[in-house]
């Protein structure tokens, strides 16, 4: 060790050296570089922990629900669960379809044609995610369509928002007909 010994002859330098020992004020560049490296490491570790909270692979795997629609008469609807959400599968009557299509050109909060919300040639089948786009309650069936009891959103026979605080139409989930009596949602 090369430290000068602190003897009584050299009190000023000794005090200064002692002060330096007790309070080395200048920040060394290497310390900065090292601290930055530590910060990067901590950030990477933190990222992996937070990312682990994302939906896991098994949850993400496209879960699908098969629905047997043979038992649903015109004017009836069935509620099924898909990805944990309620889905309405409605067999519309010709009157309901006509009313829905007639409103296509009307002023709407979230404009959409009825045809865009059903499958071609199968417009009697309406498949909707039964979750109000306002704050998530499940709307009830009423003659004109659906009505959400929580804050009074009115949806028509195509599931489009017509009145009330909801900003968007009831969502149409991805689905397809795997036969005339079965649809696959998701």
Partner 1 sequence: MKNRFWRNFDKALFWFEHRLPIQSFAKHQGEYQTPRNLSYAWNFGSLAGVALMIQIVTGIFLAMNYVPQVDHAFDSVERIMRDVPFGWLIRYVHAVGASMFFGVVYLHIFRGFYYGSYKSPREVLWWFGVIIFLMMMGTAFMGYVLPWGQMSFWGATVITGLFTAFDEVITGLGTGVQQLLLGSFSVDNPTLNRFFALHFLLPFVIFGLVFIHVIALHIHGSSNPTGVAVKSKKDTIPFHPYYTIKDFFGFGIFFLIFAAFVFFAPNYLGHPDNYTPANPLVTPAHIVPEWYFLPFYAILRAVPPIGIPFTSIVFISSKLAGVIAMFGSILIWFVVPWLDRHPVRSGAYRPVFKWFYLLFVINFIILGIMGAKSPDGITWGIPNVIIGRTTTFYYFVYFLFVLPLLSKVEKADELPESIYEYTKKKYGGNIVSVLALALVMGFSGAATANETKEPVQVNWSFDGPLGTVDKQSAQRGFQVFKEVCASCHSAKRLAFRNLQELGFSEAEVKALASQYQVTDGPNDSGDMFQRPGRPSDRIPGPFANSKAAAAANGGATPPDLSLIVKAREDGPNYVYSLLNGFAEKPADVEIPAGKNYNEYFPGNAIGMPKPLSDGQVTYADGTQNTTDQMAKDVVNFLQWAAEPEMESRKQMGVKSVIFLLVFTVFFYIAKKRIWAKIGQ
Which residues are tagged catalytic? 151
Task: Compute the distance between CA of residue 186 and CA of residue 66 in angstroms, rounded to an integer.
Answer: 9
**Phi and psi at residue 166, in whole multiples of 5°?**
-65, 140
Question: Distances from the Cα of 143 to the Cαs of 43, 99, 104, 154, in angstroms?
Answer: 56, 12, 18, 11
Binders of partner 1 among residues 155 to 174 (CB under 8 A) are: none
Give me the 3-42 binding string for partner 1, x by CB under 8 A, dash otherwise: x--x-----------x-xxxxx---x-xx-xx--xx-xx-
Does residue number 56 form part of the binding site for partner 1 (CB under 8 A)? yes
Does residue number 64 form part of the binding site for partner 1 (CB under 8 A)? yes
Task: Compute the distance between CA of residue 6 and CA of residue 49 in angstroms, rounded to an integer.
Answer: 51
Residue-wise DSSP of 71-119: T--TT-EEEEEETTEEEEEEE--HHHHHHHHHGGGS--SS---SGGGS-
Q: Which of 11, 13, 19, 68 binds partner 1 (CB under 8 A)?
A: 68
Query: In whole angstroms, how close is the CB of 49 to partner 1 at the nearest point?
Result: 5
Q: Which of 7, 12, 58, 180 binds partner 1 (CB under 8 A)?
A: 58
Does residue number 73 form part of the binding site for partner 1 (CB under 8 A)? no
Beta strands of 20-155 (E only): which ranges? 65-68, 77-82, 85-91, 125-129, 140-142, 145-148, 153-155
Binders of partner 1 among residues 76 to 105 (CB under 8 A) are: none
Q: How many CA atoms lie within 13 A of 154 on its CB side?
A: 8
Query: In whole angstroms, how close is the CB of 148 to partner 1 at the nearest point?
Result: 27
Q: How many CA atoms lie within 13 A of 140 on its CB side?
A: 5
Q: Which is nearer to partner 1, 52 or 107 (CB)?
A: 52
Q: Which of 12, 43, 53, 120 binds partner 1 (CB under 8 A)?
A: 53
Q: Which is nearer to partner 1, 14 or 97 (CB)?
A: 14
Binding site for partner 1 (CB under 8 A): 1-3, 6, 18, 20-24, 28, 30-31, 33-34, 37-38, 40-41, 48-49, 51-54, 56-59, 61-64, 66, 68, 71
């Amino acid at each position: 060790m090369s430290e000068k010994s602190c003897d009584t002859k050299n009190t000023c330098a000794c005090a200064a050296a002692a002060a330096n020992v007790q309070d080395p004020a200048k920040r060394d560049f290497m310390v900065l570089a090292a601290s930055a490296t530590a910060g990067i490491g901590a950030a990477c570790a933190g990222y992996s922990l937070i990312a682990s909270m994302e939906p896991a692979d098994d949850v993400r795997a496209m879960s699908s629900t098969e629905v047997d629609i043979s038992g649903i008469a015109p004017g009836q609807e069935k509620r099924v669960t898909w990805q944990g959400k309620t889905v309405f599968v409605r067999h519309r009557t010709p009157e309901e379809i006509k009313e829905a299509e007639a409103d296509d050109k009307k002023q709407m909060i979230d404009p959409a044609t009825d045809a865009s919300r059903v499958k071609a040639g199968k417009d009697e089948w309406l498949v909707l995610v039964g979750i109000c786009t306002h704050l998530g309650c499940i709307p009830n069936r009423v003659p004109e369509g659906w009505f959400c009891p929580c804050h009074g959103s009115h949806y028509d026979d195509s599931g489009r928002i017509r009145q009330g605080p909801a900003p968007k139409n009831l969502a149409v989930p991805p689905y397809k007909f795997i036969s005339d009596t079965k649809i696959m949602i998701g």
